[in-house]
Amino acid sequence: MIELDGAVGEGGGQILRSALTLSMITGQAFCIKNIRAGRKKPGLLRQHLVAVQAATQISGATVTGAELGSQTLVFAPKAIKGGDYQFAIGSAGSCTLVLQTVMLALLHADGPSTVRISGGTHNPMAPPAQFLQRAYIPLLRKMGADIDIELLRSGFYPAGGGCIVATIAPCPQLQQLTLMERGERVEGYAEGIVAGLPASIALRELECVGLGMNWTGDQLRMRGLPGEQGPGNALLITLEYEHATEVFCAFGEKMVRAETVAKDAMHEARRYIASQAAVGEHLADQLMLPMALAGGGSFTADVLSQHAITNAEIIGRFLPVAITLEEGEQRSTCTVRATA
């Protein structure tokens, strides 16, 4: 039984999600205490509970402590089974974070899988569906995974109501990936998304991005969604390079100006551009785990967050790998190598 403390590092839900994924794949049971101790509302919220329930169903696990508000969980998996799965968060909790909990595990299933998740697809503190589609999944495909994600309906905080569907084929051994350079820019564009809100909000965001990034025409794209999918607003900035694509996102909120939303997204995009790194902060958090499962790999990132450092520690508890994080003046480097 691996014992974990959910209060270490950034003290958020990523510790639990990574532990669930690694436990299913390695077959090692774990006990985690102080779940999300670093958050204002500690313990399991809806999206974390659904992640546990999804992992339990997929792996036939024996679980104790799987209830709302629980700060202690014991998880003992069995074999990972492919199949058709449906999970409903019942709030604006993140569909993408639940999917990421089970996605890599289902590569080790006994057959193909389809996973349908309803809840939030665009909310703060979680990657939007387009981030998975454009940035994360293409890199998994380079490692040999056959995964596809479709956004059926957008769901914004606080209403939720969104839906994504993923299809996953078995791939028990990922290939190692070296991603030190991003290559030449292929395309860059911004999308102003509104649902149940005035189009002028997105247009102001796009105008601000146009001035700030010196973009015009087709680089500034208005996306109006049906009103019943809102109310909600998101601004996405997508930067496609030869070897990697990054997606930066900011969300509209009450009493926050559209120009402020645009500047928040541009801040992250500009930091990434200036760094010359292969990936941004959030993609760096998520690449470590598949690289560890592949037995090695490396990448450069504009920022290595406390989130990433914590994730590296959790991975090392389950897998025989060493993860080295080196911070440089403009960009940082992560190297994953097998130790056994």
283 is in an annotated binding site: yes
Please tell me the distance from the alpha carbon of residue 38 to that of residue 6, in angstroms, as a whole number: 8
- Name which of 57, 58, 61, 65 is nearest 6 in CA terms: 65
8 A C-beta contact, residue 160 and residue 120 = yes
Q: How far apart are CA 226 and CA 303, in angstroms?
A: 36
Q: Is 122 flagged in the annotation as binding?
A: no
Question: In this predicted structure, what is the pLDDT of residue 160?
Answer: 87
Q: What pLDDT was estimated at residue 91?
A: 77
Annotated binding residue 5: no
* CATH H-level, domain 2-175: superfamily: RNA 3'-terminal phosphate cyclase domain (3.65.10.20)
Structure tokens at 67: 């209830």
Nearest to 143 by CA among 302, 287, 14, 279: 287
Task: Please give the single-letter amino acid code of residue 119.
Answer: G
Q: Would you kindly state where each structural domain of the chain is located, as residue ranges?
A: 2-175, 176-181+276-340, 185-272
CATH of region 185-272, choose from 3.30.360.20, 3.30.750.24, 3.30.70.260, 1.20.1430.10: 3.30.360.20
Task: Look up residue 130 and give its amino acid.
Answer: Q
What the block records as the tokens of 257 is 């100006």
**What's the pLDDT score for residue 10?**
75
Alpha carbon 322 to chain centroid, angstroms: 22
pLDDT of amino acid 38: 79
Q: Which two tokens stand for residue 339?
A: 């130790």
Amino acid 54 reads A
Whether 267 is a known active-site residue: answer no
The CATH classification number of 176-181+276-340 equals 3.30.110
Summarised one tens digit per residue, pLDDT across range 93-109 is 899 999 999 999 999 99
Output the pLDDT for position 9: 77
Of the listed 48, 108, 243, 307, which one is catalytic? 307
**What residues does 238 pair with on adjacent strands?**
189, 247
pLDDT < 50 regions, the chain: none
Is 219 flagged in the annotation as binding? no
DSSP string, 252-308: --TT--HHHHHHHHHHHHHHHHHHT-SB-HHHHHHHHHHHHHHTEEEEEES---HHH
- Evaluate whether 107 touches 170 at the Cβ level (below 8 Å): yes
**Residue 292 corresponds to which tokens in the numbers above?**
């560890």
Q: Check whether 282 is labelled as a binding-site residue.
A: yes
Q: Can you list the alpha helix ranges (DSSP code H) found in the chain?
A: 13-26, 46-59, 95-106, 129-131, 137-142, 199-213, 258-275, 281-294, 306-318
Enumerate residues 6+ apart whose C-beta is below 8 A from 4.
15, 19, 30, 31, 32, 33, 314, 317
Phi-psi region of 295 (alpha: psi -120 to 50; beta: other; left: phi over 0): left
Nearest to 232 by CA among 178, 157, 309: 157
Residue 281 to residue 325: CA distance in whole angstroms: 13
Q: What does the pLDDT read at residue 6?
A: 87
Alpha-carbon distance 123 to 158, whole Å? 8
Helix-helix angle 199-213:258-275, to 10 degrees: 30
57 annotated as a binding-site residue: no
The single-letter DSSP state of residue 224 is: E
